[in-house]
Chain A
């Protein structure tokens, strides 16, 4: 029997990053429920942002392979291992994408705060 996957809440790096971003954007004291909803939604957007960055890095064949794997119900491990082989500089690209996402988020937040006179 394969050892099972364990899911915990504390160590999601993207989520932790987004939580820090929301706080840095000045919403640390927003109502807890709304803040957590926002963090969840923004985490998905951050993942998409990283995805776009990676789509530029992967050749079309590999991209098609990844989609086939996902469509065929590949396990989480298989999807993750895919990048170890196909994208050697994935770590740098992920960090770059998150950095850009963070800047966009902060800029947008600043603009919104101005518009809403917060």
Chain B
């Protein structure tokens, strides 16, 4: 009877039954059908009914164990980077019945030679981390509740010292007998698991937890350290990150980003500034702080040129009537807008990468400060109007203090000056000349003629 012959015989409905069997009884029944087929039809062997039943049972058990164990071993070997997956694989392996807790913990150890740390400190940190996990293993689950119980029954430190000393002795003994630091740590963890089992009447849940922690520890020990730390700054970053990693191991189920998000949100709440966006290494210069733009600023500046908005906000940042928070926001915005390389041709909203408020239009009113606007499509940013003596002028859209588009302005070289100061020519939205504005400071709409004192009366009166 060779494997190929058996495979050929089993390529039928009986094999499907074996595969589809959901429990042990169904599997034995399916295997019995296979045994009968091999014995009766194919004459592979001779056996009585009792023997056939025993063969079917053994085959079923073997098949069940092999499939589970092989699968778990494969998962254990391949899940090198994911310690939770290693823990699940280890748990499945343990349930197959052929593995002990100690053997499993050993199997979680590094399988390849680890690059030796450059200093003793690195190894100490790894061992200390493993100890921390082993220590937690000894008092979990329900860590907080147990802490409270222990606090009532004699103090946390007393119990923790006891465990710490004990595990320290285990690790020390292993080291004295020639074990590596990793091996010593794993021995201590195995001891902790056994002690926990005895002390807490370990059940499956406890065992799974122990394996999870052990797998986490093994990954910690297995982690490759930087082969060469080229600079003090990178070493500093790595050292502080490592400290935080050790802290993280006290908090099962939390990953680094959970904690970072918590810290970022807390800081923003406590200090009134900042955001929760993760800083991205390698993308220096990305905005890392955010605040909610005041609504009136959003409406007022959305379509105003970034440079004009920056000047207005800069003035606001020194305005004693503004609150401290408003002054800080104004200052931050002014700096950001002024730094934009195309501040004169992009809008406030474009420079900040935000959605602009809807564009509104309004009438040009005398005495109203004007800001260069950035508009698209329906209301172009530039139009050509008729200047002095019919000369064509390229006029720039302007907005008022409410952010509404009110008209256009242009410097007309042939237009008048007053006191040798140049004036802008002002046009309404229809391109009709309506007035002037000083060209050497914040433009303010003025109607009439300069020599008449810029009459501010309405252009027409209704009687």
The number of inter-chain residue pairs (CB within 8 angstroms) is 222
Does A3 lie within 8 Å of B293, measured CB to CB? yes
Chain B residues near A14: list those with CB within 8 A.
Answer: 264, 267, 274
Closest A-chain residue to B289, C-beta based?
A: A12
Does B260 lie within 8 Å of A48, measured CB to CB? yes
B232 at the interface (CB under 8 A from A): yes
Chain A residues near B284: list those with CB within 8 A.
Answer: 33, 36-37, 39-40
Chain B residues near A10: list those with CB within 8 A.
Answer: 289, 331-332, 335-336
Residue from B261, B283, B298 in contact with A51 in the complex, judged by beta carbons closer than 8 Å = B261
B237 at the interface (CB under 8 A from A): yes
Task: State the CA gap A76–B48 with chains docked (Å).
Answer: 74
Contact with A along B218-253 (1 / 0, CB 8 A): 000000000000011111110111011001100100
Chain B residues near A84: list those with CB within 8 A.
Answer: 269
Contact of A7 with B287 at beta-carbon distance under 8 Å, contacts A51-B259, A80-B265, A91-B270 already known = yes
What is the CB-to-nearest-CB distance from A41 to chain B, in angstroms, rounded to a whole number?
5
Task: State the CA gap A40–B283 with chains docked (Å).
Answer: 9
Does A8 lie within 8 Å of B336, measured CB to CB? yes
A113 at the interface (CB under 8 A from B): yes
Chain B residues near A118: list those with CB within 8 A.
Answer: 232
B285 at the interface (CB under 8 A from A): yes
Task: State the CA gap A33–B119 with chains docked (Å).
Answer: 28
Task: State the CA gap A22–B254 with chains docked (Å).
Answer: 28
Q: A54-B263, A80-B276 given. 11 additional CB < 8 A pairs?
A: A4-B293, A4-B298, A5-B275, A5-B291, A6-B292, A9-B285, A14-B274, A43-B279, A67-B254, A70-B261, A116-B232
Supply 22 A–B pairs (Cβ within 8 Å), ascending by A: A6-B333, A10-B332, A33-B284, A34-B234, A37-B282, A38-B233, A41-B237, A42-B240, A44-B279, A45-B237, A47-B261, A47-B263, A49-B263, A52-B248, A54-B262, A66-B262, A67-B258, A70-B261, A81-B269, A90-B270, A93-B270, A108-B240
A residues with a Cβ closer than 8 A to B are 1, 3-15, 22, 25, 27, 30, 33-55, 60, 66-67, 70, 76-77, 79-84, 87, 90-91, 93-95, 97-98, 101, 104-105, 108-109, 112-113, 115-116, 118
